[in-house]
Amino acid sequence: MIYLDSAASALPFEDAVTFSPEPGNPSSAHSAGYAANAVLEKTRSLLSAMFGGRSSEYHFCSGATEAANLIIQGRCHFLKMANSTRNEIIVSAIEHPAVFNTVKHMQQSGFIVHIVPVDHRGIIETSFIYDLLNEHTSMVLVMGVNNETGARQPIDDIAKKIKAIDPEISFICDGVQTLTKVSSPDLTYIDALIGSGHKLGAAMGVGFFYFNHRFRLSPLLFGGEQEAGVRPGTENIYGIESLYRALVHHQKNADQYHNHVRALSLLLQKTLEQSDISFSINTQDGETSGYILSICFNGIDASRAIKFLSQRGICVSKGSACSSVSPTPSRVLSAMKLSHTQMSSTLRVSFSPLNVKEDVLTFCAAMSELHSYNVETSALEQQSQM
């Protein structure tokens, strides 16, 4: 199998999924419990060392969707309980469904939602954010790297300017496709950050979130005092140890991984350029992470291409795995003002540090085969109509 869909779930590091976890419950007051708790604390410390903030400000959960709900709903519930007049939320048009749909749901609780557009490269129109800010703004949400296009957003600049205008406004960043893949956001001005283990080579079922002392929220779940009471329930020791092991790989090999993935991305583009395939990169002239390519293959139906590639053991996608079954056009590509034809011809190719050159070359060869088949079929159809 050639797997080029790591934005959906990254190829796991072998030692991050093949190990025996500590057997104890980290809340238990005995040696096995202490050993399990040590797994939590060493992982928090590594998150802090790699991404900033205090280790105590990192919390574990089941994944980024749960983290987004805890952060967004928890903050909104806190504001309502405090009778705050801050009832407006600003969110970018290209956020992941876990963030975007949670924000939209907050409208039912009386919050006013403002959606900020992006340009043709998929980069947020920052001026719209600043124009919308007022004394009722509660939070601004902008992702670091888009999960469908790889477009990088100017997170640090936006957060810094917002805090200069009004330090009481919370800034929340979805860092799922950002962390370990590009330079980490500056947590000096960011109040909450969301991450996911399986997007960076750990096992599925573990996520994490950061929030600082400025950011107060009401828990959505009630039970024990795990995770400082913010996310009760016994922690997933296997998932958290897996996260730690994956993070160690990125910490030790960051430059090597980034250079390798960039080289794969460039190889794919150059190989396609040398073929007869008509294509365009949807984020042309925009800054991207290098881990994700959104490619429009002119005249090739994306759904048909995915099936064709899958039959040859090659895995790619049309966009977000969370919305791939939806019959509606991509909200992200629509926000970039791509035509329906362009959207229906777009594939997302996403890399892992574990991919190799042969993966890229095999994908390009398969696309050339599909392109030739389409040309021949089209010619036969024209002849039959004459």
| Structural domains of the chain, ranges and CATH numbers in brackets | 16-248 (3.40.640.10), 253-372 (3.90.1150.10)
In the predicted model, is pLDDT for residue 386 greater than 80? Answer: no
CA distance 282 to 380: 31
Alpha carbon distance 161, 386 (integer Å): 63
Write down the mean pLDDT value for the chain: 95
Q: CA 317 to CA 323: how far, in whole Å?
A: 11
Q: Is 134 exposed, middle or buried (0-12, 13-18, 19+ CB in 10 A)?
A: exposed
Percent of the chain with pLDDT over 90: 92
For residue 184, the SS3 value is: coil
Residue type, 114: H
Tens of pLDDT along 62-119?
999 999 999 999 999 999 999 999 999 999 999 999 999 999 999 999 999 999 999 9
Dihedral over Cα of 257, 145, 269, 266: its sign: negative
Print burial letters for 227-261: b (CB count within 10 Å at least 16), e (below 16): beebbeeebbbbbbbbbbbbbebbeeeeeebbebb
| Angle (nearest 5°) at CA 313 between 309 and 314 | 50
Q: Residue 171 pairs with which residues in a beta bridge?
A: 140
The tokens for 236 are 């997933």
Model confidence pLDDT, tens digit, residues 10-37: 999 999 999 999 999 999 999 999 999 9
* Tokens at 284, concatenated: 């042309």
Residue of 32, 15, 19, 69 whose CA lies nearest to 230: 69
